[in-house]
Structure 1
Amino acid sequence: MSQPDPAFWAGKRILLTGHTGFKGSWAAVWLQALGAQVTGLALAPDQTPALYELAGVGDLVRSRIVDLRSLDALAAALEGETFDLVLHMAAQPIVRASIEDPIGTFGSNVMGTAHLLQALRGQPALQAVLVVTSDKVYANAETGRAFAEGDALGGKDPYSASKAAAEIIVQSFARSFYDRAGVPLATARGGNVIGGGDFSRDRLVADIVRAGRGQGETVLRHPQATRPWQHVLDCVAGYLVYLQRLAQDRAAPRALNFGPRPGGAEVTVGQLATRAVEALGARPWRHEPDPQSLEAQSLGIDASLARQVLGFESRLAAPDAVDWTMDWYRREADGEAALALCREQIARYGNLT
């Protein structure tokens, strides 16, 4: 199956937004290992601890702390810079946080995206731009059917709606400006990601890790809910392979799903939490229903088009993704360096068949 090609990425000038976040930090480490010249734009980390700091990501890339909600600050940060490729991952990624701060979420996820695409229009060497959205961009009627790229967009909570809106923003910029300039502009819709180094609030694995380290307990709101679980390396690998293809083939699709292998068994929140708790030796989780929650009970995405077009599919099934994740946390807690653990798992992932 397809993998990021070091020969393609070596020396490429990459703009990576969101490099201070969980997925962004993994992307930064991988791109640096591929030989790319990475410039990161993002807000300061909002996690404690943060993988960005644990792994010393700021020493691997040219890191700039910028709020994409400010067009002036963004334009100043990009002045005089030239990039070959852009991977836009900066976002407010938490559903419950979007309920608490809908305006801030729309500001980051909608206007932040619009500001970036506007600021990039003058880039003379730009080959392709990939905007990361979410599996939650689809209008979800809770039928249990996996969503395909042609399905209707929607969103009943501010996070989902903001990501669906970002999809429309991207389409409008592509048709109005980027297509005319010959620069492919596309979106990647990833599933629920787990992996070492995620310490976000209101995230399943991070809550289990905190419980295992004596910092509270794991509370599940919807243990029977299903999600398209995916290891962070599967997700980031898909993004890189897709961005590489966009730069090489202007006929590539302008939106792709990335998630578990098609036909794989569904894994509920409770099942994944049980395996993670057992692997980490944490306290058992407990169920605390939230009748006010807007989170979907059933969510699945069809990633078969990525396999057909890119020759790419996830390599780690959900149980393996949990095992890799908990191994990272156990070893990091025992004193192993976070950066070394990330690099080891990236190399191990590259050897999978």
Structure 2
Amino acid sequence: MRPDSTFWNGKRVVLTGHTGFKGSWLALWLQRLGARVTGIALYPDTAPSLFDAAKVTNGMDSHFCDIRDREALAAHIKRAEPEIVLHLAAQPLVRASYQYPVETFATNMMGTVHLLEALRNLNSVRVALMVTTDKVYRNQERPVPYDEDAPLGGHDPYSASKAASELVITSYRDAFLAAQGVAVASARAGNVIGGGDWSADRIIPDAVRAWDSNHVLQVRRPDAVRPWQHVLEPLAGYLRLAHALWDAPALAGSWNFGPDAADAVSVRHVVDIARSAYGRGEVAYGQGDTGPHEAGLLMLDSAKSRAMLGISSRWNLNEMVGRTMRWYGAFAQGTNVRSLCEADIDAFES
């Protein structure tokens, strides 16, 4: 469902993680909708970054702050007086979580605690949407999609830290914020792709880096299956859910956002489409037996968001991968990055 500009226009929104990949796209979209956006995040951690390239800070109030710093975060929140809070700030990478487990838990779990604590007794706020991940579920590697009532778990520190943050979110909602009149929800989205992601150990950025440099793309786990979607798909879901929570606080709870389980496909399949769209590129497929543990099979059941929010996928796999590869191609040719993003949002909304 297209976000309603008449709702978002003039809304005071705090967006954490606005310097990241998803956060930058969401900040741009909120600006187009007329929201008064305050961003709170670390400096971008990639070069290039979508935040810098698209000049995301133009048209919003941007602050660089570590959400592990409870007092600084609370001060920014208090000054912004948000009506809606969208929490995307995180340590978002599975493999990095093996290297930095303490930092991952401190950011993803305690950072969530700090944000929710800052919302206690804040009279302005009505909606808080906390973005976690599809990896919060106890993955049993079976061909069964996980719905919102499936048990939480997490083998790697990233997944476990996000599952822990789900417990934090539920506790703060039930113990404090519901009685305060704040509708609190968590959003669990599938794997996203789209232009402007330069993170390490993600398949599309890895492919673009390798093929632009005439190197061979090394794929660790080609047969791993994921619920792929273009970045605008879950962002549209977040915007729709936040609007719905404003009107109907009883919708507070956890929500999945992803394609139908039947549309979850392997990494190999995504790489084949990306290479075709790129026009060239060599690939070396591994056996999936190197490196730390990563889930081999993950599917989401998003029937709740389809039925109750009217959410449905706009772009199929071929279109989303092709559009993403064209974005990177246009970026390499020097096309204005903000215009590239706005063109994709226009196409998504049309």
1:284 aligned partner: 282
Amino acid at match of 1:75: A
Q: Which moved more, 1:250-259 or 1:83-92?
A: 250-259
Distance 1:294 1:263 in 2: 23
User: What's the counterpart of residue 152 of structure 2?
Assistant: 153
Per-residue deviation, 1:130? 0.2
- Give a deviation string over 1:87-140, Cα, whole Å, max 9, x none: 000000100000000000001100100001001213212110000000000001
Q: Deviations over 1:28-67 (max 9, x none)?
A: 0000000000000000000110000000011121110000
Task: Provide the residue aligned with 1:330 in structure 2.
Answer: 329
Aligned-pair identity in percent equals 45
What does 1:56-71 align with in structure 2 at a 5 Å threshold? Answer: 56-71=55-70
Displacement of 1:75: 2.0
Which amino acid counterpart does residue 26 of structure 1 have in structure 2?
A: W
Residues 1:346 and 2:349 are matched in the alignment: no
CA deviation profile, 1:204-242 (whole Å, cap 9, x unmatched): 110011112217432111101100001001111011101
What is the alpha-carbon distance in structure 1 between the residues aligned to residue 42 and residue 199 of structure 2? 15
**Which residue identity is paired with 2:276?**
E
Q: Secondary structure at the match of 2:79?
A: coil
Identify the residue that residue 244 of structure 2 maps to in structure 1.
245
Give 1:333 shift. Answer: 1.1
What does 1:88-103 align with in structure 2 at a 5 Å threshold?
A: 88-103=87-102
Equivalent residue of 2:263, what SS? coil
Asked if structure 2 preserves the Cα contact closer than 8 Å seen for 1:207 and 1:217, the reply is: no
SS in 2 for 1:196: coil
Secondary structure (helix, strand or coil) at the match of 1:326 reads helix
- Residue 130 of structure 1 aligns to a residue whose secondary structure is strand
Counterpart CA distance in 2 for 1:290 and 1:48 is: 30
Alignment of 1:101-140 (within 5 A): 101-140=100-139
- Measure how far apart 1:282 and its partner are: 4.3
> 1: distance between equivalents of 2:295 and 2:341?
31
Q: Which amino acid aligns with 1:300?
A: M
- Deviation for aligned residue 1:307: 0.6
Please, which runs of 5 or more residues in structure 1 have no aligned partner? Answer: none
SS in structure 1 of the partner of residue 80 of structure 2: coil
For residues 244-263 of structure 1, what are the structure 2 equivalents within 5 Å? 244-260=243-259, 262=260
Aligned-partner residue type, residue 297 of structure 1: G
User: Which segments of structure 1 move beyond 4 Å, counting only runs of 4 or more?
Assistant: none
Q: For residue 207 of structure 1, what is the aligned residue in structure 2? A: 206
Residue in 2 aligned with 1:308?
307
In 2, are the aligned partners of 1:86 and 1:128 still within 8 Å (CA)? yes
- 2:292 paired residue number: 293
CA 1:298–1:263: 2 relative to 1, 3 Å: closer
> TM-score when scaled to structure 2?
0.97
SS at match of 1:251: helix
Contact in 1 for aligned 2:173/2:184 (Cα 8 Å): yes
**Shift, 1:263, TM fit:** 5.3
Q: Distance in 2 between matches of 1:148 and 1:74?
A: 32
Q: Residue 271 of structure 1 aligns to a residue in which SS?
A: helix
Is the Cα–Cα contact under 8 Å of residues 14 and 77 in structure 2 kept in the other structure?
no
**Letter in structure 2 aligned against 1:266:** A
Residues 215 and 160 (structure 1), Cα distance of their counterparts in 2 relative to 1, 3 Å cut: farther
1:28–1:57 contact (8 Å) kept in structure 2: yes
Query: CA–CA distance in 2 between the matches of 1:317 and 1:80?
Result: 42
CA–CA separation in structure 2 for the residues paired with 1:80 and 1:229:
37
Alpha-carbon distance in 2 for matches of 1:80, 1:303: 36
**Per-residue CA shift, 1:290-321, capped at 9, x if unaligned?**
43431111000011110111011221112211
Once the two structures are TM-superposed, the CA of residue 74 in structure 1 deviates from its matched residue by 1.0
TM norm structure 1: 0.96
- Tell me, which stretches of 5 or more residues in structure 2 are unaligned? none
Match of 1:197 in 2: 196
Q: Distance in 1 between matches of 2:117 and 2:264?
A: 40
Letter paired with 2:106: G
2:57 aligned counterpart, secondary structure: helix
User: Which shows bigger deviation, 210-219 or 198-207?
Assistant: 210-219
SS in 1 for 2:249: coil
Secondary structure (helix, strand or coil) at the match of 2:129 reads strand
Partner of 1:73: 72
Instruction: For residue 198 of structure 1, report the CA deviation from its aligned partner.
Output: 0.2
SS across alignment from 1:64? strand
Q: Distance in 2 between matches of 1:46 and 1:128?
A: 28
Structure 1's 287 and 174: CA in aligned 2 closer, same or farther, altered over 3 A? same
What aligned pairs does 1:16-95 form with structure 2 within 5 A after superposition? 16-95=15-94
Partner of 2:229: 230
- Counterpart contact for 1:211–1:282, Cα < 8 Å: no
**Which residue type is aligned with residue 286 of structure 1?**
A
Query: How far, CA to CA, are the matches of 2:27 and 2:214 in structure 1?
Result: 29
Name whichever of 313-322 and 97-106 sits farther off: 313-322
Which residue does the alignment assign to 1:318? Answer: 317
